[in-house]
Amino acid sequence: MSQAASQATNRPLRIGYVPLTDAALLQVAKAKGFAADQGQEIELVAEASWANIRDKLVVGILDGAHMLAPAAIASSLGLGHLKVPLVSPVALGLDGNAITLSRPLYEAVVQETGIASPDPRATAHGLAKVIGKRQAVGAPPLTLAHVFPFSSHHYQLRLWLAAGGIDPDKDLRLTVIPPPFMVRSLTNGEIDGFCVGAPWNAVAVQAGVGQILHRGRDIVQNCPEKLLAFRADFAAANPESVAALATAIRQAADWCSDPSNLDDLTELLAQAARSQEEWSQITPKLLRNILAPTPGAAINGASLRLDREATRIRKAHALWLYRQMVDAHQVSDLPEYEATASSVYRPDLGLEPPMGDADSQGLRLFPRSDS
């Protein structure tokens, strides 16, 4: 047992999570004993929305959380809620989002584009034509949903729309819906599409109400997503526990990267989902197709990275997210705000090993057509 583990907090730590596929490393760290081996037991608490996660973390009901990276930055800046500094010693993966449209809108975009284009810039121009035609006949604006104001999902949508000359604040409506309610909202016709993490894009396709247009990584490759976040004061008072959990997450990433563990992983995630009514339709077969899709799989769209390199905390990611927040008019562009955003990412707290020369997490915008 490591020195950090021997000094970890004796009581189990309450860690909140939204039962998405990218909560996998937390589930594995607990179920496979990696956290316990580091001397730190954890209790995982399922929450329905990112707002619940944020609220319970900042007021101290939760000790830590599976959290949207931009939301952790927003909390530290006091945007949209109480100003409570948060820090993260380890990421919980990269990529994993996708843009799904209702079947009628998907077909309209494909018709304007000419083909089911793999280039997001081409489909964005196709969507712009659809919007123009709707405006010409007085049709109501389209509505696209994302999971939280401060999220990579929101920023990926904005980057995609901007590539087609679409103003997301004027030409259509962006709205926030918690992940488990996306498919229902699409089915009811309340929205025309969404950007969400796995498995909800696949669920929409399985239900026959949506079609995946792009993976999030087709817009931004190696996009920062979720963090293991703590209040800064908690991390300062419990450095051994924080380091122990970060180590356990890295070990869980190694386990998830082993193909021989895929069946075990999908069953574990499906079992966690079954405890929630909204997740009851998520099966091991569905998750397996997301995590290890067969060539040409119709419902894949995640390309979620759960490997060890994807758990590294990089300040460059924090700064990129801050720039997206500025561009979305959520925060002023001030040096002190940029410094606060950077301070959320704390690889030192997780006793992270030095990075090698290979940069496997560099952000790339529209990588498919650029490569």
Residue-wise pLDDT for 122-135, tens only, equals 999 999 999 999 99
pLDDT band at 303 (very low <50, low <70, confident <90, very high): confident
Taken in order 259, 260, 261, 263, the sign of the CA dihedral is: positive
Asked whether the beta carbons of 254 and 175 are under 8 A apart, the reply is: no
Determine the average pLDDT of the residues in 87-97: 96
Strand partners of residue 99: 195, 214
pLDDT of residue 132: 97
Domains and CATH numbers, the chain: 3-94+223-257+306-353+363-370 (3.40.190.10), 97-220 (3.40.190.10)
Determine the average pLDDT of the residues in 26-36: 97
Give the tokens for residue 150. 């401060």
Determine the average pLDDT of the residues in 283-312: 78
Q: Would you say residue 356 has pLDDT above 60?
A: no
Contacts made by residues 266-272, CB under 8 angstroms, sequence distance 24+: 266/291, 268/27, 268/28, 268/31, 269/21, 269/23, 269/24, 269/27, 272/19, 272/23, 272/27, 272/44, 272/46
- What global pTM score does this model have? 0.92
**For the chain, what is the largest distance between any 2 Cα atoms, rounded to a whole number of angstroms?**
69
pLDDT band at 300 (very low <50, low <70, confident <90, very high): low
Q: Would you say residue 362 has pLDDT above 50?
A: yes
Q: How many CB atoms lie within 10 A of CB 271?
A: 12
pLDDT band at 283 (very low <50, low <70, confident <90, very high): confident
